[in-house]
């Protein structure tokens, strides 16, 4: 294995003016589940964070649906619908799911839209005349025979099968023999290796990068990019007997949503700063997509970040087992923001993990109801009781009466957010929440009210100001509850959002005399 450079963080470097983050577009042969939600929430958190850094107009979040292919046609037929009727229905289900999860996507691209088809056709025409780094034609026509998994919409080698079956779908692959157009991927190995090694195109986490480098080292094989006998797809413009292979179709969405290479959005936002994807489709994003872009002479994405898989109570999600969880199920039980928190706080983004419904209940009650919710309620109630529901004047030396190092916490928070370590960023937030609760127990405001009102004023001010900064940290993760906390602290939320993050995290932003409100319970306990 070649020596690789250390990981570099995704960061808003000095002078960075834009940030473009994408989810994979989701295949609509089935309903949205929490696997889709997990990826989409992560992308949304990253987009919201960068909007705080760079301003809303300079950040673009894209998601959407992948709607072509044999599997879609089969699913439509099974449901006694036309393919277009079927995908219209399924795309709407995904859009409604993301609305309920408060996903702030700038666009929702569908591969059956004319704007997408136009770009795919244009790419085909350019690929027809493109050359590889070895001066060969980038695409060529040849006959191919192989094992094809309809579930994966991909050809498989014998070594990829388990007991002769697709390991993901547990079904036998079809033997397919047909003439197709091929992308000469074999000619791009050295170029892709050099781009990954130099860090020009990052693949993270490290084990996924090593996996891709290992595939390159063993030798890349040319891949079919068109199909015969698949009517539900975008026709190849110079070969009407062929339709675009579903993965080539799908990957093009990242540019078609920007209006193609001549679009205004493309000129502002391409290349993508982060493609967030799953490890089951890492090869398509890290090999086929970059090779296509090289052939088209277009810039490559800066980073491809691959999150892990998760199981439900130790078992793989399966309709047969009956453990597939819809996002709506969690939102109905916990609420939007709590669902977002629960999905991202369980294990490291990029690693495999396990979700337990029982554990979700326990975490909701412990972290959200008892720690965050109770802290906000206690502090606002004491402000109401001791200072007539207004912010007291901060008088005593900060270092003497408040041992929280929020500057260091913000530095850690930034590092974790820019490196997509969302659970670590949440840990920073919860360290502050727990320190505040411990601070209340230590300082005993109820006793200070009788003994020293000046120190009491400082204690309450410190708590209110830390809650304000905690709300700012929470904004990417729990936007609705963060807004609510700021409202309780007497802020007009829209005016807060107009400010850059560097201004929002300054100490002593709260003004003396600013009216606060106790409000309702943020997170009612589950019983």
Catalytic annotation, pick one of 125, 217, 231, 316? 316
Count CA within 13 A, CB hemisphere, residue 32: 30
What distance in Å separates the CA atoms of residue 185 and residue 292, rounded to the nearest whole number?
9
Q: Does 169 participate in catalysis according to the annotation?
A: yes
Q: Are 129 and 121 in contact (CB under 8 A)?
A: no
**Identified catalytic residue from 166, 173, 306, 436:** 166
**How far, in Å, CA of 405 to CA of 399, rounded?**
9
H or E stretch covering 490: none
**Overall residue count recorded for the chain in this entry:** 527
Q: Which of 152, 173, 306, 436 is catalytic?
A: 152
Helix ranges, 246-370 (H): 246-251, 253-256, 264-269, 282-283, 289-296, 327-334, 336-344, 357-363
In sequence order, the 6+-apart residues with CB closer than 8 A to the CB of 317 are 33, 34, 35, 311, 323, 324, 325
Query: Has 357 been annotated as catalytic?
Result: no
Catalytically annotated residue among 36, 90, 116, 285: 36
Our answer to whether residue 166 is catalytic in this structure is: yes
Q: Is 36 a catalytic residue?
A: yes
Q: What are phi and psi of 235, to 5 degrees?
A: -60, 145
Active site residue 33: yes
- From the list 125, 170, 221, 319, the catalytic residue is 319
What value, to the nearest 5°, has the Cα angle with vertex 190 and ends 192 and 19? 15
Rounded distance, CA 410 to CA 345, Å?
A: 18
The one catalytic residue among 169, 442, 500, 512:
169
Known catalytic residue: 68? no
Of these residues, 33, 116, 285, 481, which one is catalytic? 33
Is-catalytic flag, 306? no
Residue of 71, 90, 116, 149 marked catalytic? 149
Q: Is 152 a catalytic residue?
A: yes
> Catalytic positions, please?
33, 36, 149, 152, 166, 169, 316, 319
């Amino acid at each position: 294995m070649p020596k690789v450079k250390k990981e570099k963080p995704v960061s808003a470097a000095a002078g960075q003016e834009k940030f473009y983050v994408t989810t994979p577009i989701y295949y609509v042969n089935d309903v949205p589940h929490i696997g889709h939600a997990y990826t989409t929430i992560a992308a949304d958190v990253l987009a919201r964070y960068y909007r705080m850094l760079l301003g809303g107009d300079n950040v673009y979040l894209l998601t959407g649906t992948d709607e072509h292919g044999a599997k879609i046609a089969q699913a439509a037929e099974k449901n006694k619908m036309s393919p277009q009727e079927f995908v219209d229905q399924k795309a709407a289900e995904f859009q409604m799911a993301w609305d309920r999860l408060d996903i702030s996507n700038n666009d929702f691209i569908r591969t059956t839209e004319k704007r997408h088809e136009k770009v795919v056709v244009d790419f085909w025409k350019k690929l027809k005349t493109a050359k590889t780094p070895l001066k060969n034609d980038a695409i060529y026509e040849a006959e191919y025979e192989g094992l094809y998994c309809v579930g994966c919409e991909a050809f498989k080698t014998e070594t990829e099968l388990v007991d002769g079956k697709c390991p993901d779908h547990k079904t036998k692959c079809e033997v397919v023999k047909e003439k197709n157009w091929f992308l000469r991927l074999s000619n791009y190995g050295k170029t892709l290796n050099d781009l990954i090694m130099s860090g020009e195109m990052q693949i993270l986490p490290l084990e996924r990068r090593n996996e891709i480098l290992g595939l390159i080292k063993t030798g890349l094989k040319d891949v079919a990019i068109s199909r015969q006998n698949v009517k539900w797809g975008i026709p190849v413009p110079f070969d009407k007997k062929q339709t675009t292979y579903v993965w080539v179709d799908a990957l093009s969405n990242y540019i078609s949503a920007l209006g193609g290479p001549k679009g205004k959005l493309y000129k502002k936002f391409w290349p993508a700063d982060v493609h967030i994807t799953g490890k089951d489709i890492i090869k398509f994003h890290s090999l086929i997509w970059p090779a296509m872009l090289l052939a088209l002479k277009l810039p490559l994405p800066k980073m491809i970040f691959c999150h892990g898989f998760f199981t439900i109570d130790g078992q793989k999600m399966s309709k047969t087992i009956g453990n597939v969880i819809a996002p709506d199920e969690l939102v109905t039980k916990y609420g939007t923001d709590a669902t977002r928190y629960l999905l991202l706080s369980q294990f490291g983004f990029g690693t495999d993990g396990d979700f337990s419904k029982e554990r979700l209940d326990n975490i909701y009650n412990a972290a959200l109801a008892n720690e965050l919710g109770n802290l906000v309620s206690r502090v606002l109630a004491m402000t109401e009781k001791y200072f007539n529901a207004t912010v007291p004047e901060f008088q005593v030396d900060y270092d003497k009466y408040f041992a929280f190092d929020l500057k260091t916490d913000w530095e850690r928070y930034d590092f974790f957010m820019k490196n997509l370590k969302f659970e670590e960023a949440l840990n920073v937030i919860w360290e502050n929440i727990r320190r505040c609760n411990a601070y209340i127990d230590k300082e005993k405001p109820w006793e200070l009210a009788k003994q020293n009102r000046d120190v009491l004023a400082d204690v309450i001010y410190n708590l209110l100001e830390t809650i304000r900064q905690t709300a700012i940290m929470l904004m990417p993760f729990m936007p609705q509850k963060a807004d609510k906390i700021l409202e309780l602290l007497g802020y007009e939320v829209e005016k807060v959002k107009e400010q850059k993050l560097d201004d929002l995290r300054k100490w002593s932003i709260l003004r003396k005399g600013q009216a606060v409100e106790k409000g309702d319970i943020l997170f009612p306990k589950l019983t």
